[in-house]
Amino acid sequence: MILKSFSWQHFILATLVLGIIWYVGIWLYYRRKGKSSLDAENSSTPLPHRWQHQVDELSQSDSLIGQPTLEPGVQVVEAADFSFADKTDTVNVADKSHQLGLVPDVLQEIKAICAILEKKDGNKEDFFAMFEMVKVKYPQIINYPATSELNQFIREHVPFHLSADELEGLWN
C-alpha cells in the first residue's frame, strides 16, 4: 500500500537526488584527503611498494629461473663459425643424394616384384626375368657399393630360397 502512493516521477526524482548526494559525498571525501582524480593522473612519482627495499637489482645475465640448458650434443656457435660444405665437396654430396634416391626406388621395385610373385605363384626364373627389368631401369645400381644390404633384403622378401651365388649373379 505504501508503494502505490509513489509514482514513476517520484522514483526518478528520488534516484537523482540520492545519486547527486552520493557523488558529492565521494568528491568531498577525496577533496578532504587532498587528492583529486586529476592530481593522481598528473603525479610523476611512482607509488611506493613495500617489497622494493628487499629486492636486489638483477644484472643483465641473471634470470629469475636460471640459465637454460642445452640438449646433449647441441652447441651454440657464432655465425662466423657456422658454414656449409665446401664447393669441392659438392660432387660427393651429389653422389650421396643420388644414392639416397636410387636405393629406395630399387627397394620399391623389388617389393613390387615380390608382391607379384606371391600373387601369381612365381618361381626363380620369373624373379630373374623381372629383376633384369630393374637392372635396365636403374643401371647405376650395378655399381652400388653396398649390394650386400640389397641382397639381404631380397633374401628376406622373396617367397623362395636364393643361394649366395644366385644373389651375386643378380648384379652381373
Residues of the chain with pLDDT under 70: 1-2, 34-44, 47-48, 50-64, 85-100, 146
Q: What is the pLDDT of residue 126?
A: 87
CB neighbours of 40 closer than 8 A, spacing ≥ 6?
none
CA 105 to chain centre: 29
- One DSSP character per residue, 37-99 reads HHHHHH--SPPP-GGGGTPPPPPSS--SS----PPTT-----GGG-----GGGHHHHHHHHHH
Q: Is the pTM of this model over 0.75?
A: no
Please state, in angstroms and as integers, the Cα–Cα distance from residue 137 to each residue in 16, 44, 68, 98, following that order: 95, 82, 53, 15
CB neighbours of 58 closer than 8 A, spacing ≥ 6?
64
Q: What is the pLDDT of residue 9?
A: 93
pLDDT digits (tens, 9 = 90+) for 120-136: 888 888 888 888 888 88
What is the C-alpha to C-alpha distance for residues 109 and 133, in angstroms, rounded to an integer?
10
Q: What is the pLDDT of residue 41?
A: 59
